[in-house]
Structure 1
Amino acid sequence: MLRARSITKSFGNLTVLKGVDLEVKTAEIVSIVGSSGAGKSTLLHILGTLDRPDGGEIFFGTTRVDRLRTKALAHFRNRHIGFVFQFHHLLPEFSALENVCIPGWLAGKRKKEVEGRALELLGTLGLSDRTDSKPHTLSGGEQQRVAVARALINQPAVVFADEPTGNLDSVHARELHALFLQLRDQFRQTFVIVTHNEELAQMSDRIVHMKDGVVLS
């Protein structure tokens, strides 16, 4: 489903990625682990099309995304890729429901269709009674579940998560772990996760170890 070949990336004189290869299958949860500076987040941002590689190829199915122009790439990203970050990046002036709906509206989908999908997702994630709540009234775990629902609204091929439990306590972190497993089993959702959380990594289908800009295993 996702194939990256010989990915390189440098910032000035610093080479961060040194020819990374990675394949991810549909309905697979892959965790990328390694020490700080290993290149994990840089790789995640490139795979998620938030940054471009200096060299190499990235395919989503038969689409080579590293060759797409800026407008086409943004369109592809909105329709096929979801993101969950350590800090939830919810818009404070909007309700939980509205935050989830925004990527669907940006994709040009009908308002009622998007709202129906958002309500379904919020219900699946245990937030049916929080749809009208603003982010500041939600717990950290609830905010992260809203962020997960937002990532899923356009039924993406893959969700990229960058340290998704980094801002959560252990209880909410375990709840998020269980949620990822539920979404994989229920929706055949694919996840690629960068994490320092050993428990989250261990529950994955596969762990990819990085060091000094290369994949070790």
Structure 2
Amino acid sequence: MLKAVNIHKKYNQLEVLKGVSLEIAQREIVSIVGSSGAGKTTLLHILGTLDSADKGEIYLNNQPFHHLRDKKLADFRNKNIGFVFQFHHLLPEFTALENVCIPGWLAGRKKKEVETEAARLLSILGLKDRIENKPNQLSGGEQQRVAVARALINKPSIVFADEPTGNLDSANAKELHNLFFQLREEFSQTFLIVTHNEELAAMSDRILKMKDGLIEE
């Protein structure tokens, strides 16, 4: 479903990725672990089109996208990829419902259709009574669930999560990982997660260990 072949990336003279290849199947929940500086986040950002590789090929559902640029790349990202970050990046002036709707509106979907889907997702995630609350009225765990709903609003092929539990206490962290499995069952959703939390990584279907810019065999 997601395939990367021989991904290389340098920043000035620092070689961060040294020929990374991987494949993720549909409905898999895969964690990438490794020490700081191993290249985990760089790889995730390249796979998620937030950064570009110096060399290599990336395919999603057999469609190459490493060659896309500018608006075509942004459109592809918005329609096919969801993101969850350590810091929720919710817009403080908007309600939970509006934050979830934004990617759908950017995709040109009908306003009411997007709002209905956003409310449904927030209800599934246990936030039915919080849809009109703004981020500062929500707990950290609730904000992260809003971010998950936002990642799902355009029915992406894959969700990339970069340290999604790094800002949560242990109870909320475990709850979030359990939520990923619930969403896999409900939506056949695929997740690729970068995490330092090895206990939570162990819940995944597969763990990829990175060291010095490569995935260890």
Please report the TM-score for the alignment, with normalisation by the length of structure 2.
0.99
Do residues 28 (structure 1) and 28 (structure 2) align?
A: yes
Corresponding residue number in structure 1 for 2:209: 209
Q: Secondary structure at the match of 1:66?
A: coil
CA distance in 2, matches of 1:32, 1:124: 27
Q: Secondary structure at the match of 1:210?
A: strand
**Amino acid in structure 2 at the alignment position of 1:135:** P
Corresponding residue number in structure 2 for 1:126: 126
Do residues 117 (structure 1) and 117 (structure 2) align?
A: yes
CA distance in 1, matches of 2:27, 2:155: 13
CA distance in 1, matches of 2:55, 2:147: 31
Do residues 171 (structure 1) and 171 (structure 2) align?
A: yes
CA distance in 1, matches of 2:46, 2:76: 14
Corresponding residue number in structure 2 for 1:74: 74
Corresponding residue number in structure 2 for 1:12: 12
**Amino acid in structure 2 at the alignment position of 1:211:** K
Do residues 155 (structure 1) and 150 (structure 2) align?
A: no
CA distance in 2, matches of 1:69, 1:8: 18
| Runs of 4+ displaced beyond 3 Å | none
Q: Secondary structure at the match of 2:84?
A: strand
Corresponding residue number in structure 1 for 2:189: 189
CA distance in 1, matches of 2:46, 2:132: 34
Please report the TM-score for the alignment, with normalisation by the length of structure 1.
0.99
Corresponding residue number in structure 2 for 1:38: 38
CA distance in 2, matches of 1:141, 1:21: 33
CA distance in 1, matches of 2:212, 2:16: 7
CA distance in 1, matches of 2:46, 2:108: 25
Do residues 59 (structure 1) and 49 (structure 2) align?
A: no
**Amino acid in structure 2 at the alignment position of 1:60:** L
Shift of 1:70: 1.4
Q: Secondary structure at the match of 1:44?
A: helix
CA distance in 1, matches of 2:207, 2:89: 27
Q: Secondary structure at the match of 1:191?
A: strand
CA distance in 2, matches of 1:42, 1:81: 16
**Amino acid in structure 2 at the alignment position of 1:45:** H
Aligned alpha-carbon RMSD (Å)? 0.5
CA distance in 2, matches of 1:61, 1:48: 14
CA distance in 2, matches of 1:107, 1:90: 18
Identity of aligned residues (%): 70
Question: Deviation string for 1:178-214 (max 9, x for gaps)?
Answer: 1001001111100000000112201101000000000
**Structure 1 unaligned spans of 5+:** none
Shift of 1:136: 0.2
Corresponding residue number in structure 2 for 1:92: 92
User: What count of residue pairs does the alignment treat as equivalent?
Assistant: 217
